[in-house]
Structure 1
Amino acid sequence: MRVGLLTEGGYPYVDGDAGLWCDRLVRGLGQHEFDVYALSRDERQEAQGRVPLPPQVRRVRTAPLWTAEDDGTAYGRRARRRFTEAYGELAAVLCAGSTEAAPPAPAARAERAEETSAPQADRFANALYGLAELARAEGGLAGALRSEAAVRTLERACRAPGAPRTAREARVPELLTVAAHLERALRPLSLGWYEDDGLGSADLCHATSGGAAALPGLLARHFHGVPLLVTEHGVRLRTHYLAATDAAPAVRALVAAFHARLAAEIYRRAERITPGNAHARRWQERCGADRARLHTVHPGMDATPFTEVGEAPDTADPGTLVWVGRIEPAKDLVSLLHAFAQIRTQAPNARLRILGAPTGAEGAAYLAHCRALAAQLFPDEAEGPHAVGDNPVCFAEIGGPEAPTPAEAYASGAVTVLSSVVEGWPVSLVEAMFCARATVSTDVGAVVEVIGGTGLVVPPRNPRALAEACVALLRDPERRARLGAAARARALELFTVEQNVAAFHRLYLETVARCPVRRVVLDADGEPLPFAVPAEARMAGRWTDPALRGVARRGPGWAGQRAPVRARAAAVAAVPGVEGAR
């Protein structure tokens, strides 16, 4: 089958964990064709280039989200009226839902909330697809979305009777900010990806995240009936809620209402939704996803680099703790350092290795703060001519002489520690499990789901509990060995690339079988050709001969012209013994 893979800020660009996951998925599904439709987040990402693509990637089409040139389209009077009506309806829905700055109502009020939100969802969908149809007919929306008419339309919706106080209090700067955000969010509507030879030729659209990446999938479903599968390892709506905390109240409310409505529409139209873990699944259910359409698929990770360490005897220093990851405030290394100070009172020979690199300026500042804290907590070890060698806390980067590879980083310690206060899918935890290492983790994100009883879990921001768990494992080598073996077995069973690829292959087949694309194929005279796109049309063979394809058609498929069909019939009739055969 042909899959339209929709990405935002990931594959096929070289940076990002999401891009690595997509690359493994595409390479593992060599029996399918992929057309990649990629939205880039910034100019730096595009400048870094793309990863090498496997032969099953038929083509790549890209578009930037970080900039949009004016399309130069001049709307006529009728087009301007259509835009004002559709955009006004969209703004009215956002104002009606601008008080929803959090996920939907609790279970006690869920039924009433559903009754009131269903009409608003239909209004949002009509406005969204109305704008998409206008962009398709006129060649784009960029100029209209940036126009003064758009801002005035948004202002009228905010000042309309019944609008909440938060919307009514929006001033011109707030309205301009919201209008600019909507223009950016709606840029995918103006892309030329929705023709018959674009997303209209796909059998399935697979959006690798919610939000902007899934929006082209919604339009492919709207224009061509292509089924949509959405994968979210981290719920985009939750990201928008967390990112809008510093904005003005009116901006926060209106932007949150837009993303909530868009997420609800994506969840409503997607045939399948595949959260990467139970934590993301709970968020999706709370934000309106139908439980019957949810199917958890854990991210697949390559276990091969960790095989040697995982199968070898444990020769690490029994008193060494290892932390691996990106250095940033969310990882809460401060609590880890305070916990280690308590560990040293009970295990004086214990050592802590922090292996990772900072992310951006904030990460660099946080690393400097952690280094200073380590020197303050261990003043005797941090001073003197042998300070570096005697300091029980070691900061290093993977790739250096002390830890050339991630596998060797995990192999250097008896216990792997995760101290985060915010975590999605804990990559470092799974890698440690591949290496058969006992783990101590904080109860955040998908940690409990990943560990599943093969490690110790403590509350976040609790140095005392973290220290007690680490000491318990440092003092019990037999328990460490049992937990490490169980962790490796669990990771190999649930979290490998092979498991992930097999799950999506099954979902692809199930989705296409339940929701096949109905394409109308016309002959040379413009008449419909029944049975022109049989099931074997996607399989390589003599039936895909270009000579048998139709001249006028919508989308790819096996469409025979009348002339070749008559010629074939004449050839069959000429064979002795089959004259007059029907």
Structure 2
Amino acid sequence: MRIGLLTEGGYPYAAGEPGLWCERLVRGLGQHQFDLYAVGGSGIPRPLPPNARVARTADLGGSDSGPTARNLLERTAFGDRRAARRAYGRRERRRFVEALHRLAVGVCGEHTAGTGEAETGAELGIAFAEGLYALAELARERGGLPGALRSDDAVRTLESACRAPGARRGAAAAGLPDHLAFVEHLERTLRPLSLDWYAEDALGAADLCHAAAGGTTALPGLLAKRFFGTPLLVTEYGVQLRSHYLSAAGADRSAPLRTLLAALHGRLAAEVYGQAALLTPGNAHTRRWQEKCGADRARIRTVHPGMAADRFAEVGEDEESGDPATLVWVGRVEPAKDLIALLHAFAEIRALQPDARLRIVAVPVRDPGSGAYLAHIKGLAAQLFPDEAAGAHAVGENPVTFEELGGPEAPTLEDTYASGAVVVLSSVVEGFPTSLVEAMFCARATVSTDVGAVVEIIGGTGLVVPPRNPRALADACLALLREPERRHRLGAAARARALELFTVEQNLAAFRGIYLELLSHAPVRHRPGDGVPFAHPAEAHVPGSWAPKAAAGTGAPDA
């Protein structure tokens, strides 16, 4: 089977958890051929197995906060307008305006209250989809949309939709700077429409499109289904729409612009979920987001992400490892992790159990803003534990240590988890916290806040407390520090649960079956150059070249 894998973050170029998941999938399902379509990829790719190749790459970079409104206005009024008119004749420009108007109506329109609300919402979704596919058809025929989405035609079309009767209040309040910024963002979002991926030797040759994320990453899969009838499978371990809502990049945007962008990404998510043959969220938290966006429950199947458990086996099998008075926190240092609440909770723990210690182990990140938050947290720790931090009248070493993963104090994750008795998660926002699964592989008892997919991951093998509640966090940690038998019992149960639900093997087994299931329901397509029909049946894979030889011996005609 030939899989067109639409990768998030540019695999095989980028690292990180999405890249690791794609690599495990490609290497674990060696019986299938993977054509990698890297959205946002550039540079030197990592080595690939024989069953995978980089078919296409596209750099969709760009920053929303880059050009000013004045620069956008100048470029729209002069440069991009001339480019659009050079590329399109009068008929193409009319088609473009009509298609963009339909898409803009779907974005700007507001659901009406009353009995007709659901019907009106469906009509707006249809308008968005009609405009999207009309733009895709135009881009396919004309080799893309050169400058058209940033032209003055685009700005006027958006303004007309915002001012039309029935537009949502936030859209109607948008001004020219909002319109300019929105078309800039829309051009980046719809940039996959202008790629050269939609040909018989590209996505047209795939038996199945598998998108490793929703949103823009899945957009080429939508077009492959539209142009070739290729089934689309969408896997989400984090929700793109949720990420957009929580993005710090939009803090300086106006309210009307935020309204338009939220509507755009909401419509795109709904269209992706509606057209996908199957959705495979990584957890129930993601599944609820998909259902809220209109996904059909019958086409949703939760597939937990697979993680390598072997590296944690030695720690998990050693029940006596770890300092019984040490708490461990591992993750990216950012406000969403709420380390402020964790430090206040530890101050209460320290008052009742003076030998308690807290290790804060930071995962290295490239975000320049993380340094300021880390400095703030260290300053708070110095205030809460002044004697230990200053060394004056100290009873021992500082009870709170700040370390970096990969450094001399915390060389590996295994060593980090092995050093403590309890692993703590204090976040106020989470998707699928991998640190909890890693702690479970290490047979560590956990104390977590009730956010994201935490309850689904932990089950009954750890303690869960409300977020932003230092007292509850402190009480739960103290309970486990003071009861070693309970701590060991929960840790053993956590390890058993993780080995059952969150391993690479269970993830691969699930997708092995899903691929065959989706292909069995897809229409049979025989393309020129494929060789003998049914030479590679979906239900079996026989290595070697027996099929062409058999065809030659029987005189089977070529296609």
- TM-score w.r.t. the length of structure 1 is 0.86
Out of 482, 492, 512, the residue aligned to residue 475 of structure 1 is 482
1:275 aligns with 2:277: no
Q: Provide the residue aligned with 1:229 in structure 2.
A: 233
Superposed displacement of residue 520, structure 1: 6.1
Residue 127 in structure 1 maps to residue 136 in structure 2: no
How much has 1:533 moved relative to structure 2? Answer: 3.3
Alignment of 1:3-18 (within 5 A): 3-18=3-18
Q: Which residue of 1 aligns with 2:33?
A: 33
Report how far residue 532 of structure 1 moved. Answer: 6.5
Q: Mapping of 1:218-297 within 5 angstroms? A: 218-243=222-247, 244=250, 246-297=252-303
- Determine the C-alpha separation between the residues in 1 that align with 2:315 and 2:93: 65
Q: CA deviation at 1:165?
A: 3.5
Task: State the Cα distance separating 1:121 from its structure 2 match.
Answer: 2.1
2:73 counterpart residue number = none
Contact 2:361 2:403 in 1 (8 A): yes
Q: 1:514 aligns with which of 521, 524, 541?
A: 521
Match of 2:102 among 89, 92, 95: 89
RMSD: 2.7
Q: 411, 416, 430: which one pairs with 1:423?
A: 430
Distance 1:4 1:345, change over 3 A: same
1:392-411 to 2 correspondences below 5 Å: 392-411=399-418
Show CA shifts across 1:530-550 (max 9, x none). x963363675534347998xx
1:56 to 48, 51, 66: 51
Local SS of the residue matching 2:369 = helix
Kindly provide the amino acid, as one letter, of the partner of residue 140 in structure 1: G
Change beyond 3 A, Cα 1:544–1:193: farther
Q: How does 1:289-328 map to 2 (within 5 A)?
A: 289-328=295-334
Letter in 2 for 1:466: L
Aligned to 2:121: 117
Q: In 1, Cα distance between the equivalents of 2:153 and 2:190?
A: 16
Amino acid at match of 2:440: M
**What do residues 204-239 of structure 1 show as CA deviations (whole Å, max 9, x unaligned)?**
000011101110000000000000000111111122
State the one-letter code of the partner of 1:332. D
Alpha-carbon offset, residue 58 of structure 1: 2.9
Q: Using the alignment, how far apart are the partners of 1:357 and 1:508 within structure 2? A: 35
Structure 1 letter corresponding to 2:292: R
Q: Aligned residue for 1:527?
A: none
Q: Is the 8 A contact 1:10 1:17 kept in 2?
A: no
> Is 2:427–2:449's contact at 8 Å kept on the other side of the alignment?
yes
For the Cα contact (< 8 Å) 2:8–2:18, is it kept in 1?
no
Contact 1:225 1:517 in 2 (8 A): no
Q: Any gaps of 5 or more consecutive residues in structure 1?
A: 524-530, 549-557, 563-582
Deviations 1:229-251 (A, max 9, x none): 00111111122233345422221
Alpha-carbon distance change, 277 to 259 in structure 1, aligned in 2, over 3 angstroms? same
Report the alpha carbon displacement of residue 124 of structure 1 after superposing the two structures with TM.
1.6
Tell me if 1:334 matches 2:340. yes
Q: Distance in 1 between matches of 2:395 and 2:182?
A: 52
Could you tell me how far apart the structure 1 residues matched to 2:394 and 2:556 are?
77
Q: Which residue of 2 aligns with 1:204?
A: 208
SS of 1:263 mapped into structure 2? helix
Is 1:143 equivalent to 2:167 in the alignment?
Answer: no
**Structure 2 residue matching 1:536: 3-state secondary structure:** coil
Shift of the 137–284 alpha-carbon distance from structure 1 to 2, 3 Å rule, reads: same
Q: Is the 8 A contact 2:214 2:272 kept in 1?
A: yes
- Amino acid corresponding to residue 401 of structure 2 in structure 1: C
Name whichever of 4-13 and 194-203 sits farther off. 4-13
Tell me whether 243-252 or 407-416 shows the greater mean CA deviation: 243-252
Corresponding residue of 1:466: 473
The residue aligned with 2:397 is: 390
Structure 2 CA distance for partners of 1:417 and 1:165, relative to 1, 3 Å: closer
Q: Secondary structure at the match of 2:536?
A: helix
Residue 424 of structure 2 aligns to a residue whose secondary structure is strand
Separation of aligned partners in 2, 1:221 and 1:117: 23
What is the number of equivalent residue pairs in this alignment?
532
C-alpha separation between the residues in 1 aligned to 2:150 and 2:478?
A: 60
Output the amino acid matched with 2:55: V
Q: Kindly name which structure, 1 or 2, has the bigger radius of gyration based on alpha carbons.
A: 1
Change (3 A) 1:333 1:89: same
CA gap of 1:546–1:267, structure 2 versus 1, over 3 A, is farther
Residue type at the aligned position of 1:15: A
Contact 1:225/1:518, CA 8 A, preserved across alignment: no
Return the match for 2:375 from 344, 368, 374.
368
By how many angstroms is 1:423 displaced?
0.8
What is the TM-score normalised by the length of structure 2?
A: 0.90
Return closer, same or farther for 1:51/1:173 CA change in 2, 3 Å cut-off: same
Unpaired runs of at least 5, structure 2:
64-78
What does the per-residue CA deviation read over 1:339-365, in whole Å, with 9 as the maximum and x for residues that have no partner? 111001211111111111464232111
